[in-house]
Structure 1
Amino acid sequence: MPLRNAIETYARQRPDTLAVCISGTSLTYGALYETVMGLNAALAALPARSRPDLTLPDAGRLFAYAAGNHPSAAFLLATCLATPHAVELLDPHWPDSLHQKTLAKLPPDALFCLSTQTALIESASRLGIPVIRVDTPDFASFLAPPVPLPWTAGTDIFLVGFTSGTTSQPKAFARARHSWRASLDASRIAFALTENSHTFAPGPLAHGITLYAFAETLDLGASFFGLTQFEPVAAQRAMSNARRIVAVPTLLGALCKSDPQDQIREITTAGAKLDPNLLKKARATFPKARLHEYYGASELGFVSLNTHGPNSSSAPAHSVGRPFPHVSLSIRKDGQEVSQGEDGTIFVRGDLAIDGYLWGGRNSGFRREGPWATVGDVGRLNNDGSLSLLGREGGMVITSGHNVYPQEVETALSEIPGLEGAVVIGLTHPSRGQEINAIVCGNAPLGEVRAQLRLRLPRYKLPRRFFKVQAWPLTSSGKPDRATLKAWLETKDDKLAPLGP
């Protein structure tokens, strides 16, 4: 059923049930529904701006949210999920200049932010956008008397999201309600979710994996636990009340530094390939949990899934799993499907993808070929039906005339005991065109790493140079920051220690 119906049902049937707790600020389903009704009425009373590239229903308004994991996120994100309004979800870690450009390109009818975000507030004021500071009495004053929620249509837009993809500038996309409705129905079964799947998701709500976990949890009528910012003691406290964890691998690794957590029964992770060492740690820390590792994209939704039990996995470790339920995969080159085992661009057919970008994706990222959609990732379908991810179009390294995808080398490195992650980067070389460089974290001896790689990869795919990093620089979504690592390589930064000759 639509999330509007779900939240209303839980609020009426069990209003005192915990819906959301963010760093100790708790909210019942009854209180959540009451505030959402007030927000809906207040937003509907705002004058609507004209936006040629984004159509909302007559009762719908576009509001921007930039306050990260402030407890007000529970009200505002539930409002976009359950009412005709849509959210323009801004990452609070963006530089001021990017916030300003985004507001100018797609001015919202209101901006919700923190009082400390002064540059953002000034930019909104110049554009005539009403500002509501969620950490002040502004928020309570903005609310209108609650009125019953109107119906929502599946074709209506509820989210304007942003993804950087292969470029440094975010690409904006709009997502319609029916795509997440289909996703929620599929993931409920695939991840074995019930009303008792109380979920701890420690990541930023501005990013897809955490926002989707929030929607999943409300759809189930379970309790969602989040953090205003990640801190180990607070994370342990929140995790003790949950039965499920949703986190990118870097945050999952931080949670594995604790005593065994028998109460956790399901884990969902995405955003980067789960390396075997982290899988081993997760199995030890969460001995009663199944771990669902999925590959997907903000533009495509779910693509493939690998579920790891205590002793086995549903797909080979080197793969990113088998097609997600109700999703078909095709590996294609020049508009034609290639044979099984051949490399090509990964295309997806299903009802989870967006229609296209609002801006920023003219020359890269999401595109369609008939009913098939892709974000430009390259891979192959193996003989057992699993999918191997090799890299992204444009990310290929050409060294001495050979084509090498960094993801394939990184996967081979991740299988070596003693390594806790790897990033492979191609740098310009005077005679080879490009040279393969591997940056690793861990204590495996270089000789053993080279020997293991020779067993897994042809000679032309072997890195020429290796570097060790003590701690990964991370993007705001918790992934290794490749741009920073490449800059460190180019400038010979001492944060990277050369290994061997």
Structure 2
Amino acid sequence: MSGRPRLSDRLLDAAACPDPAAAVLDATVRGDRLALRTSGTSGATRSVVRSAASWSHSFPHVSALLSVGHDARVWVPGPLSSTMNLFAAVHAAWAGATVVSDPRVATHAHLTPSALARCLDDGAPLTGVHVLVAGDRLAVGLHDQAAAAGARISHYYGAAELSFVAWGSHEDDLHPFPEVDVVDREGVLWVRSPYLADGYEGEPGALLRDPDGYATVGDRGHVAGGLVRVLGRGTEAVTTSGVTVLVADVEHALRPAVAGGELVVVGVPHPDLGAVLCGVLTDGARVDAVRARARSVLDRTHRPRRWFAVDHLPLTAAGKVDRAGLATLVASTGEGVRRLL
């Protein structure tokens, strides 16, 4: 295939190709390695290097779990610069399915939780559509809202470096993906599977390995009773009054009180405390319930001191919550932000 930029011999720079999905599918036939650009927790762009086979090995499992075949019409509205969306487009092509731009004719869709919430708000036609949600945790309340709208919902946890790790219907129903071993070591998730990346192009990055073939990117969580509980990337932390608070822990503790809305905790600079924890809700009417839960389950140092409501959370180009952008918006009480308490 022409127009196949390479970083080195047999290493394909997928994002630089005119048709990234077709180029990656071709690479699976040639046995090439892939350089897939991704933004880490810090927001810095880097290239994750993996074999094409580390993706294609999962294709039959994904097809079976989603019931994707030649008659499927797959809607992938996000940019192919996101590895999640690129994988979806490549898998659809491999399965002989048709990628469509009109959700009204789709049988399947690949969305982030925020994109799913926006579809529900906009009244998008999801009845009978099998929606695969990834890129961030899928709350039970949002899952139930989508199911009530007639959608069939699947959810997975993974990472650009690890690919698929766990699959289920929502964040409280995640089981190890086929052929994946996942364990937690002192609260950090380690994964062994055929889907792991090789590393990064030209830099060490966050991927760590052990002699037994397990790898981690530092995501925190627990494995018990066949379920994988994901708490989030340990580097998302706020230091307030000399105490370092992992926002994933706070969000996880408060999530049961949020119902169908969304909750994000961010840190905003403070002249005396260093930073102050702020809770941001998409359903401001839930603030009393969420604050009551904070008082009952969190230490005082870990409770958000300020609360805000937004109609929609700002998103990155990949469709994930833009935490840095949200913190800036909250700090300035920008357009669309309402101070609650």
Interval of TM-score (by shorter of Structure 1 and Structure 2): 0.7 to 0.9
Cα deviation for residue 398 of structure 1 reads 4.6
Q: Is the 8 A contact 1:273 1:320 kept in 2?
A: no
Q: What's the RMSD between the two structures over aligned residues? A: 2.9
Q: Is the 8 A contact 1:260 1:284 kept in 2?
A: no
SS at match of 2:132: strand
Cα deviation for residue 393 of structure 1 reads 2.9
Q: Which amino acid aligns with 1:251?
A: A
Report the TM-score, using the length of structure 2 for normalisation. 0.86
Q: Is the 8 A contact 1:437 1:463 kept in 2?
A: yes
Which of residues 183, 187, 196 in structure 2 aligns to 1:330? Answer: 183
Q: Percent identity?
A: 30
Which of residues 280, 302, 315 in structure 2 aligns to 1:461? Answer: 302
Match of 2:30 in 1: 152
Distance in 1 of aligned mates of 2:3 and 2:310: 48
Which of residues 174, 190, 203 in structure 2 aligns to 1:347? Answer: 190
Match of 1:196 in 2: 71
Report the TM-score, using the length of structure 1 for normalisation. 0.61
Cα deviation for residue 214 of structure 1 reads 1.2
Post-superposition Cα deviations, 1:92-151, rounded to whole Å, max 9, x if no partner, equal xxxxxxxxxxxxxxxxxxxxxxxxxxxxxxxxxxxxxxxxxxxxxxxxxxxxxxxxxxx5
**Cα distance change of structure 1 residues 413 and 224 upon mapping to structure 2, 3 Å threshold:** same
Cα deviation for residue 357 of structure 1 reads 0.5
**Cα distance change of structure 1 residues 181 and 461 upon mapping to structure 2, 3 Å threshold:** same
Match of 2:145 in 1: 281
Cα deviation for residue 77 of structure 1 reads 2.6
**Cα distance change of structure 1 residues 290 and 368 upon mapping to structure 2, 3 Å threshold:** same
Q: Is the 8 A contact 2:49 2:201 kept in 1?
A: yes
Cα deviation for residue 79 of structure 1 reads 3.2
Distance in 1 of aligned mates of 2:304 and 2:214: 35
Q: Which amino acid aligns with 2:313?
A: W
Higher strand share: 2
**Cα distance change of structure 1 residues 389 and 403 upon mapping to structure 2, 3 Å threshold:** farther
| Count of residue correspondences | 339
Q: Is the 8 A contact 2:220 2:230 kept in 1?
A: yes
Q: Which amino acid aligns with 2:61?
A: A
Q: Which amino acid aligns with 1:180?
A: W
SS at match of 1:389: strand
Match of 1:375 in 2: 217
Gap runs ≥5 in structure 1: 1-39, 67-71, 85-150, 227-237, 309-316, 333-337, 339-343
SS at match of 1:240: helix
Matches within 5 A, 1:356-395: 356-359=199-202, 361-362=203-204, 364-370=205-211, 371-381=213-223, 383-395=224-236
SS at match of 1:216: helix
Match of 1:302 in 2: 164
Distance in 2 of aligned mates of 1:384 and 1:64: 39
SS at match of 1:488: helix
Matches within 5 A, 1:122-133: none
Post-superposition Cα deviations, 1:214-235, rounded to whole Å, max 9, x if no partner, equal 1221222121113xxxxxxxxx
Matches within 5 A, 1:62-461: 65=16, 73=19, 77-83=21-27, 152-153=30-31, 156-157=32-33, 159-226=34-101, 238-256=102-120, 257-258=122-123, 261-264=126-129, 266-286=130-150, 289-307=151-169, 317=171, 319=172, 321-332=174-185, 338=186, 344-359=187-202, 361-362=203-204, 364-370=205-211, 371-381=213-223, 383-399=224-240, 404-417=245-258, 420-427=261-268, 434-461=275-302
Match of 2:10 in 1: 56
Q: Is the 8 A contact 1:201 1:224 kept in 2?
A: yes
Q: Is the 8 A contact 2:36 2:49 kept in 1?
A: yes
SS at match of 1:171: strand
Q: Is the 8 A contact 1:240 1:263 kept in 2?
A: no
Q: Which is greater in Rg?
A: 1
Q: Which amino acid aligns with 1:380?
A: H
Q: Is the 8 A contact 1:299 1:375 kept in 2?
A: yes
Q: Is the 8 A contact 2:14 2:35 kept in 1?
A: no
SS at match of 1:409: helix
SS at match of 2:63: helix
Q: Which amino acid aligns with 1:152?
A: R
Q: Which amino acid aligns with 1:65?
A: A
**Cα distance change of structure 1 residues 197 and 411 upon mapping to structure 2, 3 Å threshold:** farther
Distance in 1 of aligned mates of 2:113 and 2:323: 16
Post-superposition Cα deviations, 1:360-407, rounded to whole Å, max 9, x if no partner, equal x54x522222211111211222x4232222232332345566553212
Distance in 2 of aligned mates of 1:293 and 1:346: 18
**Cα distance change of structure 1 residues 454 and 193 upon mapping to structure 2, 3 Å threshold:** farther
**Cα distance change of structure 1 residues 454 and 367 upon mapping to structure 2, 3 Å threshold:** same
Q: Is the 8 A contact 2:24 2:90 kept in 1?
A: no
Cα deviation for residue 476 of structure 1 reads 0.4
Cα deviation for residue 486 of structure 1 reads 2.1
Q: Which amino acid aligns with 2:164?
A: F
Which of residues 298, 318, 321 in structure 2 aligns to 1:477? Answer: 318
Gap runs ≥5 in structure 2: none
Match of 1:101 in 2: none
**Cα distance change of structure 1 residues 458 and 385 upon mapping to structure 2, 3 Å threshold:** farther
Post-superposition Cα deviations, 1:48-82, rounded to whole Å, max 9, x if no partner, equal 98x5xx3318xxx767537xxxxx63xx5313312
Distance in 2 of aligned mates of 1:270 and 1:205: 14
